[in-house]
Structure 1
Amino acid sequence: MKLSDLKPTPGSRKDRKRVGRGPGGTDKTSGRGHKGQKSRSGAGKGHFFEGGRSSLLSRLPKRGFSHEGIEYALVNLRDLERFEAGSTVQFEDFIISGLVRNGNRPIKLLAAGEVTGAYTLHVDAASQSAIAKIEAAGGKVILPEEE
């Protein structure tokens, strides 16, 4: 048996209805009837149309607020073992090493884990405890406002 020999069971597949293609019930008006809004091309009232009254969404009370915060790419201290001790780690190094996948997000350093080497890290944000651990190991965290 070859792939080219495979065919569906007779009667299991049905041809699609071709409307507007000559006599046979769905020819001239293609099953839309005569005139009216719903017979026109591209016309219709939409899913949420409620007969002309205000839609449900606009009648409901609006409450609260939407907070669009910054979404950081997170890096933990335990992940820094990939780099040589005493090295300077830039934004590109995080991407090359695979610690950060999305290069569009700023990097934030978190304090999970322990750090053994003295690193100089260029990150966009860092937690206070992460900065304290890096400095205790003899390293330095450089944030954008310090550059």
Structure 2
Amino acid sequence: MTKLTLHNLKLAEGSKTKKRRVGRGNASGKGNYSGRGMKGQRSRSGGKSKLALRGLKSYLLRIPKNKGFKSKRPSKESVNLKELENLFETGDVITPKDLHKLGLIRTTINGVKILGVGKLSKKFEVQANAFSKTANDAIIKAGGKAIIITKKEKEEKKDNKK
């Protein structure tokens, strides 16, 4: 087998076919009506209708589908106590923005819920949208505060900025 170089490159057999010349007699296989059928608008020259009218369905089929559904009540981002224990110092005030900066949550839009997985020995003031019962008990037992932030407080803060 010879080495492939620019001067000996060839197209694969059958990859490029010549355009069929229609209307050149019946022996060619495309005589008489030249593949257009009999009467009607599409048999005439310039008789094809616009792509927007005929090809719309195939275009719509090519668009990716939005499968499933989007919840009207999206779930809150969750953070465990063991993560707070590892990343924060005693006496820190922990807000959703702090959790977002450290990469514990992706967004603060849907709210944050603190879950009670892990042991807590440090004293924190944790601000979140929701707490599990075990997390709330563990924070209070360690001497900290569990403060629930509501959406109204968020809206008031936005109004104050304006």
Tell me if TM exceeds 0.5.
yes
> Which of 34, 38, 41 in structure 1 is aligned with 2:51?
41
Structure number with larger C-alpha Rg: 2
Aligned partner of residue 95 in structure 1, secondary structure = helix
Give the structure 2 partner of residue 128 of structure 1.
133
Letter of the 1:10 counterpart: K
Structural RMSD (CA): 3.8
Alignment of 1:23-38 (within 5 A): 35=41
Aligned partner of residue 46 in structure 1, secondary structure = helix
Letter of the 1:70 counterpart: P
Q: What is the aligned length?
A: 115
- Change in Cα spacing, 1:24 to 1:67, as seen in structure 2 (3 Å) is same
- Change in Cα spacing, 1:43 to 1:135, as seen in structure 2 (3 Å) is same
2:11 matches 1:11: yes
Normalised by the length of structure 2, the TM-score is: 0.55
| CA–CA distance in structure 1, aligned partners of residues 129 and 141 of structure 2 | 20
Encode CA deviations 1:77-121: one digit per residue, 9 max, x unaligned.
111020111211112210111111224331111111111101101
Q: For the Cα contact (< 8 Å) 1:77–1:130, is it kept in 2?
A: yes
| CA–CA distance in structure 1, aligned partners of residues 71 and 106 of structure 2 | 24
Normalised by the length of structure 1, the TM-score is: 0.60
| CA–CA distance in structure 1, aligned partners of residues 132 and 82 of structure 2 | 14
